[in-house]
């Protein structure tokens, strides 16, 4: 079995640096990122279900659902923090 598809990191960043960079995103954009990550994990779960890997599918499905739940809470954080921020435009 090959793991060539799965990277060990992102060039130029340590995992700690990535965590800090992502954690510093404005909460509405962090929510968007988490939703995209959740979608990716759920897609992977579906692919593993098709490959008859039920245990892996289950774990990826649960992870995707929990990441989506984290996004929900981050969107709530955005709701409460937005009034305290000067939000004129999205600088993406």
pLDDT at position 88: 72
Distance CA 64, CA 4 (A): 22
Supply the pTM of this predicted model.
0.86
The pLDDT confidence band at residue 90, using thresholds 50, 70 and 90, is low
| Mean pLDDT rounded to a whole number for the chain | 93
Domain definitions of the chain by residue range: 26-83
Q: State yes or no: pLDDT of 92 exceeds 60.
A: no
Q: What are phi and psi of 13, to 5 degrees?
A: -135, 140
* Token pair in block for residue 4: 């060539």
pLDDT band at 2 (very low <50, low <70, confident <90, very high): low
């Amino acid at each position: 079995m090959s793991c060539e598809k799965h990277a060990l990191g992102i060039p130029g960043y340590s995992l700690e640096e990535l965590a800090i960079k992502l954690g510093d995103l404005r909460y509405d954009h962090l929510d968007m990122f988490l939703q995209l990550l959740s979608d990716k994990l759920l897609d992977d779960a579906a692919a593993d279900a098709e490959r008859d890997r039920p245990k892996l599918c289950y774990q990826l499905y649960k992870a995707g659902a929990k990441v989506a739940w984290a996004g929900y809470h981050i969107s709530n954080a955005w709701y409460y923090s937005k009034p305290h921020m000067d939000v004129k435009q999205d600088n993406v």
